[in-house]
Structure 1
Amino acid sequence: MTEPKEQDNLGTSRPLLKTKTILKNKIHSKLSKRAQGDNYEALAPGTSYWTSKREGQVQLRMGKDPLENEPPVTVPDLIMSAATKYSHYLAIGSKSKKSWQVLTYIEYYEACRRAAKAFLKVGLERFHGVGIMGMNSSEWVIASIGAIMAGGISVGILSSNSPKACQVIAETSEMDIFVVDNDRQLQKVNQIQGYLKHLKAIIQYREDIQEVQPNLYSWKGFLDLADGISDEKLDQIIDAQKPNQCCALVYNQATTGTPKAIMLSHDNITWTTAATVQSLGYKCPPHGQEVLVSYLPLCFAGIQILDVWVAISVAGTVYFPSLESGKWSGLPRIPGTGFLMELLREVQPTTFCGIPWVWDRMLDSLKTKHLDSTAFRRKIDRWAMRMGLSTNKRRMMGETHQPLCYGLAKRLTFEPARKFLGLNHCEQFLNVGMGLPSGTLDFFLSVDIPILEVYGLSECTGLHSTSCLQAYRLLSSGKALPKTHTKVEKENQNGIGNLCVWGRHIFMGYLRDKQSTEKKVDAHGWLHTNDLGFLDFDKFLYVLGNTNDLIRLSSGEMVNPFPIEQRVRTRIPIVRYAMLVGQDAPYLCALLTLKCQINPETGEARGNLTSEAVACCRKLRSQATWLSDVLYDRDPLVTEFINQGIQDVNSEAPSVGAKITKWVILENDFSVDGGELGPMGKMNRSTVLKIYQEEIQKLYENPTS
């Protein structure tokens, strides 16, 4: 990407040269204190690994040898250090119409200070919340960091949340200020603000304000309030903050009922950031600069670490979706025709972070492109992809030798595939969320795109293990972050058990929920994840489902659906999603969705099959093109193909109870908008059970003999 012309679109309150001099003096002062032993060693009164109080302090999980411990630092320390070292490097940018509005690191830091002062001016109190609800943007991250600098707590809120959910979040976090991106989000706040006793101001950072309200500010009007607060007052508040105190709340979006407020400390964020940088292959000036795109919801801890805090740590440039994507709901759209592909092609990121939903759509796009090409072109691609897959699998085992024709395959197939996706400058490809099936991983590996799995929960600041090109295994989530620990409890005969993790990334506790915190974190500081998995001989972590998803059959047998569902998706390539049901029933059944095309504007599934699914049908001599062609066993060729695939899956079942007895194709592919998938693409099993209750009931009406 050609370097955009710098524009100071957010304003700064003092000359940047003076700011840099002040920063250097502050850094020197902090280093002097550490040299004298004031290294946060006495983080009293944090005598416990957890707390449920917003103003509480926790004991950090540090090693016995002080020399081996990373010095704890606060979030303001992190960004101040970046602004000092990399002052004139580009930090963040958002596109407005056809021009990029960008800030350098020193401008970024000054904009955050300005926001912090404005928050203080409107009455933000210590440890009270600042809720940020809207599309990823420069304003989103500046508001988040500014809230922390001002001594408040940054609270990211999912854009699709209902007014009632927003009310619960605002009440539990004692929210003083709401920051929203447009009028649609503003109306949610207006519906509930009569119930919010702490609410003092609302800031809208996109779109013109349509109706004047006493406590409503535009982004510019809000920043203008900063002139009423002195630098000295802000510095006093920043200097009083401690690494083992809360600075951010993340709400567990996957839970049913009232969402839990996960408290993250300064040290949770800054330490996890440093460990992630150490584990992954990021560049840092002057040796190069990372270019990132931020499009996944920043209210998720792992996404925020990768998009915001890692970027600051390595002085990368983060680009956000354009203002013209304002109608976007904040949920991922399809690469290929939507805004994401355009953004990737223009920005050309060096590291790209996707979720299964996004990688799935990219796979669809590549396969469609392949099937639309000439027969000769397809033959070349198949040759190159066979070589790519075998070479990359050998590379995983330590073999670095490449075939003589590998360079030719790269020019003919691999580079065009990356360019088509907008990833031709990309050096790292990450997947967060649930692991990808082997078929998807193999396909991308065959075009020389090794997808590195990342695993973590919000309760461990979003990340616990990462894969990297030097330590990579198919279907593995990589190795744990440095100086963290993983153990497997209650292992079965296959060595699969409950995963527990330990380290400085473990959260402080659930806000105002002592009982749930004590259940999640034991007396020794271990976090019980509820995830199932195992560690291999080389300490690679494999995650194989969650205890909450286990199905108890009427016989009493417990079945883990995740590995079975993954095998179904791999063995039957026309299947997009498979979900097992059978709680308290005599046998397992499977709900299947077929691969259908997606409307790029709405994200909803269409009725016509993808090119890959159609091509598969043609190999079966089926003429099916639409989903309706195969529903209700209308196409015996497709029905027999699925039956055979289910039989193949059943042949690998460890017990009779783990076999699929019946299956049904659903009338719709799962989607985020339909509610079957969460905002990060994870299957909402409880929602699927409610939506397809009638179809499930029919599967058990005529029991098998």
Structure 2
Amino acid sequence: MGPDQIKPSESLVTTDPEGSVRLRIPNSGKAIETLPPISVPGYFQRTVDRFPNKVALGWKEADTWKTFTYKEYLNEVRTTAKAFIHLGLEEKHSVCILGFNSVEWFLSDLGAIFAGGIAVGIYTTNSPEACKYCAEVSRANIIVVEDDYQLQKVLNVRSSLPKLKAIIQYTGEPKHSDVLSWKQLIDIGKSLPDDLVDERLRRIAINECCTLVFTSGTVGNPKATHSRRRNPAMCGGVAVYFADKNALKGSLINTLQEIRPTKFLGVPRVYEKIFEKMQQVAAQNGFVKKAIASWAKQYTLQHHLDLINGIQSKSWAYSLASSVIFQKIKEALGLQRCTFFCSAAAPLSTDIKKYFMSIDIPIMECFGMSEASGGHTLAVESANNLNSIGMTIPGLKTKIFQPDEQGQGEICMYGRHICMGYLNEPEKTVEAIDEEGWLHTGDLGKIDQNGFVYITGRLKELLITAGGENIPPVPIEQSLKQELPNVSNAFLIGDKRKFLSILISLKTEVDTEGVPVENLLPSTQNWLKSLGCPAATVQEVLKAGPDPKLTAAIQEAINRVNEKATSRAQKIQKFSILPADFSVPTGELGPTMKVKRRVVEQKYSTIIEKMYV
């Protein structure tokens, strides 16, 4: 009996929340392929048996760090599960979680799984209607919200959710009598017998759904991907510390300094924020400090580029720069103990990678999808390439579907990490996962002779010009951003058009809600000043014409990008500077920072049409 049992099934996919699938377990294999299947509860229990007194979770409460050991963590999860069952969580029904990362988020997620339910995370940026859609599709019996702001979204649609039986608020005191606080939830769980959870655990199986991950939904409603009750990539024995939800507004550095992590995974925006801040600090340095820093960065960058090229060099200059100069920088950032830096969720520009390499912080790319339970390819310093997304993780497989003469085609993934399908959407499931079990990602790419995987565009984002040429916009956009470091977003136009044009947004400050404001970043202001057209805000830039000196600098960058074009159709002919940058709150970006192309095209249709008059 469960939780590590496997139920009979001949299909690799299912769209039924109560369905099961055949696991992708080969007769022989390597790495992850050879591991015996184990459920999330089973793996958790094994980790607790091995590391009962090791710190599992850490969070800050009233300026004091609190922790759970793995044994305490498991007890809290079981307590949460008992409370969920008591409140009416049915098997194969969901607990939706609406809030920022926190201990309570983790406990709700695992509590739902231990109770035989399905854990569902909802983006904090979702509208009330989007929250309703996620809860309705997943058959939510319970919704856990962070605070009153998120609670209001649920209360607005509560009458449309007949299966909803309880709402829990995990920060602050709920203002509504029928909404439970986190303390009340835990008190309920503590009063109940353990056999409530044990009985549910006996009935679950490894090859059933335990988690629904909603895709970011850049077009239409998000799809809900089934993830099974097993995940061979779960890490055992690691300690997770939670940063403040306002980390990207300035508090992250404080957390890093106090925790001093050994592994650091962030989205590109995290590294961009650190880069921008360090550029501001560096600009205040005197001549001598700048000269020393330039010397140190030159040798350190070369050291890491040599490693990429298989040259095991460690010059005295690098050793000195690393141990004296950059060690101090790492200490200031709280990263002196960190041995691995990783970026995921979106491309990190080559210039940003090189900058961090030059201060002895080599950042590795990781690529994956919601449909693949996380990572599929990963770069490590011994196998890295500045322009790739790394190599396929051992035990997983990658192939290029219908490659062209240059070896480019759709990237496909295979392995035990591939999802079960899309909930209640058989047609979309068949489109994404073929009969052999390969997940078709929708990403265009190639694999070189060394095994490095490259992404060159998105099938759905291909621009088809009036002349019939297919053009992937992302590589061109990324190339221009590398040429213009003070450009935040570049957005290529050209679908059904006679020529390509591009929209550009400059890097600006953001307010406390993450909305871009008028004020340009100091680095952007310095760039404009160096061109001879100083400005402090975007409006000043636009009111100036824009200044011919600025348009000339942008055109020169575009010319350099155009020199790399494989045909005239792939050359940018015109550009416009936008009045505001893209962001999640203003709608141009999805929760994973992917551009919503239709939103941008509609929002700036007037500016776009002027370029084609």
Q: TM-score per shorter chain, which class?
A: over 0.9
Q: Does 1:99 align with 2:99?
A: no
1:498 is displaced (CA, Å) by 0.6
448-457 or 93-102, which deviates more: 93-102
Which of residues 624, 643, 648 in structure 1 aligns to 2:555? Answer: 643
In percent, how many aligned pairs have the same letter?
35
Q: For residue 680 of structure 1, what is the amino acid of its counterpart?
A: T
2:87 to 122, 125, 129: 122
> Equivalent of 1:401, from 313, 325, 340?
313
What does residue range 291-690 of structure 1 map to in structure 2 within 5 Å?
310=235, 313=236, 315-322=237-244, 328=246, 333-334=248-249, 338-599=250-511, 601-631=512-542, 633-690=545-602
Q: Return 150-159 or 225-234, whichever deviates more.
A: 225-234
Deviations along 1:283-310, one digit per CA (max 9) or x if unpaired, are xxxxxxxxxxxxxxxxxxxxxxxxxxx3
Whether 1:85 aligns to 2:50 is yes
Distance 2:182 2:527 in 1: 52
Q: Distance in 1 between matches of 2:276 and 2:299?
A: 21
Q: Which residue of 2 aligns with 1:73?
A: 38
Question: Take 1:366 and 1:170, find their aligned partners in 2: how far apart are those partners?
Answer: 42
- Alpha-carbon shift at residue 66 of structure 1 (Å): 8.4
Instruction: Kindly provide the CA deviation profile for residues 368-403 of structure 1, in whole angstroms up to 9, marking residues without a partner as x.
Output: 111111111111111111111111100112222211
Structure 2 residue 56 is matched with structure 1 residue 63: no
Counterpart Cα distance in 2 of 1:132 and 1:117: 17
Secondary structure of the structure 2 residue equivalent to 1:430: strand
Work out which of the residue numbers 163, 168, 172 in structure 1 matches 2:128.
163
Aligned counterparts of 1:618 and 1:624: Cα–Cα separation in 2: 7
The answer as to whether partners of 2:253 and 2:334 remain within 8 angstroms in 1 is yes
- For 1:108, the equivalent position in structure 2 comes to 73
Aligned CA distance change for structure 1 residues 609 and 411 (closer, same or farther; 3 Å): farther
Normalising by the residue count of structure 1, what TM-score does the alignment of the two structures yield?
0.83
1:692 aligns with 2:604: yes
CA distance in 1, matches of 2:60, 2:104: 12
| 3-state SS in 2 of match to 1:590 | strand
Q: Deviations over 1:51-96 (max 9, x none)?
A: 0111111011111138962111111111111111111111112211
Alpha-carbon spacing, 1:228–1:567, altered in 2? closer, same or farther (3 Å)? same
State the shift of 1:452 in Å: 0.7
The one of 208, 213, 229 aligned to 1:250: 213
Q: Distance between the aligned counterparts of 1:80 and 1:495, measured in 2?
A: 45
Aligned pair partner of 1:217 in 156, 180, 186:
180
Contact residue 453 and residue 478 of structure 1 kept, 8 A: yes
Name the aligned partner's letter for residue 95 of structure 1: K
SS in 2 for 1:393: helix
Instruction: Tell me, yes or no, if the aligned pair for 2:4 and 2:206 is still in contact at 8 Å.
Output: no
Who is 1:235 aligned against?
A: 198
- Equivalent residues of 1:388, 1:445 under 8 A apart: yes
Alignment of 1:143-222 (within 5 A): 143-213=108-178, 216-222=179-185
Q: Distance in 1 between matches of 2:69 and 2:456?
A: 43
In structure 2, give the amino acid aligned to 1:422. G
Mapped partners of 1:150, 1:398: distance in 2? 50
Cα distance change on mapping 1:241 and 1:699 into 2, 3 Å: same
Deviation string for 1:555-585 (max 9, x for gaps)? 1111111111111111123322111011111
Q: Taking structure 2 as the reference length, what is the TM-score of the superposition? A: 0.96
Shift of 1:39: 8.1
**Aligned partners of 2:531, 2:170: CA distance in 1, in Å?**
54
Name the structure 1 match of 2:232: 271
Q: How far off its partner does 1:49 sit? A: 0.5
Shift of residue 594 of structure 1? Answer: 1.6
Which 5+ residue runs of structure 1 have no aligned equivalent? Answer: 1-28, 31-37, 274-309
Question: Contact 1:120–1:229 (CA<8 Å) still a contact in 2?
Answer: no
Give the Cα–Cα distance (whole angstroms) in 2 for the partners of residues 669 and 171 of structure 1: 34
What code does the residue aligned with 1:402 have? K
Deviation at 1:625, TM superposition (A): 4.0
| Alpha-carbon distance between aligned partners in 2 of 1:39 and 1:420, rounded to the nearest angstrom | 45
Give the CA deviation at 1:627: 2.9
| Residues 568-623 of structure 1: per-residue CA shift (max 9 Å, x gap) | 11112332211101111101100011222334x23233333333333333443443
Deviations 1:620-672 (A, max 9, x none): 34434433343263322121111111111111111111000000111112223
Change (3 A) 1:578 1:480: same
Which of 136, 139, 155 lines up with 2:104 in the alignment?
Answer: 139
Q: Structure 1's 629 and 187: CA in aligned 2 closer, same or farther, altered over 3 A?
A: closer
The offset of 1:411, in angstroms, is: 4.1
Shift of the 636–547 alpha-carbon distance from structure 1 to 2, 3 Å rule, reads: same
CA RMSD of aligned residues (A): 1.9
One-letter amino acid of the structure 1 residue matched with residue 420 of structure 2: M
1:629–1:635 CA contact under 8 A, matched in 2: no
1:545, 1:560 within 8 Å by CA — same for their partners in 2? yes
Cα distance in 1 for partners of 2:182, 2:351 equals: 46
Question: Could you tell me whether the CA contact under 8 Å between 1:609 and 1:625 is conserved in 2?
Answer: yes
**1:66 to 1:633, Cα distance in 2 relative to 1, 3 A:** closer
Q: Distance in 1 between matches of 2:170 and 2:4?
A: 38
- Look up the equivalent residue of 1:61 and give its one-letter code: R
1:106-126 Cα deviation digits (max 9, x unpaired): 000000011111111111111
Task: Letter of the 1:565 partner, please give it.
Answer: E
Work out whether residues 124 and 176 of structure 1, in 8 Å CA contact, stay in contact via their aligned partners in 2: yes
Q: Is the 8 A contact 1:371 1:611 kept in 2?
A: no
Query: In structure 2, how many angstroms separate the alpha carbons of the residues matched to 1:498 and 1:59?
Result: 25
In structure 2, the CA distance between the partners of 1:429 and 1:529, relative to structure 1 (3 Å rule), is: same
* Residues in 1 aligned to 2:401 and 2:571: alpha-carbon distance in whole angstroms: 26
Report the AA paired with residue 142 of structure 2. Answer: I
Is residue 216–residue 592 contact of structure 2 (8 Å, CA) maintained in 1?
Answer: no
Conserved 8 A contact 2:219-2:596: no
> Is residue 346–residue 592 contact of structure 2 (8 Å, CA) maintained in 1?
no
Q: CA deviation at 1:695?
A: 0.8
Q: Is the 8 A contact 1:181 1:205 kept in 2?
A: yes
State the shift of 1:684 in Å: 2.0
C-alpha distance after superposition, 1:348-374 (max 9, x if no partner)? 111111112222121111111111111
Letter in 2 for 1:488: I
Counterpart contact for 1:262–1:509, Cα < 8 Å: yes
Amino acid at match of 1:583: D
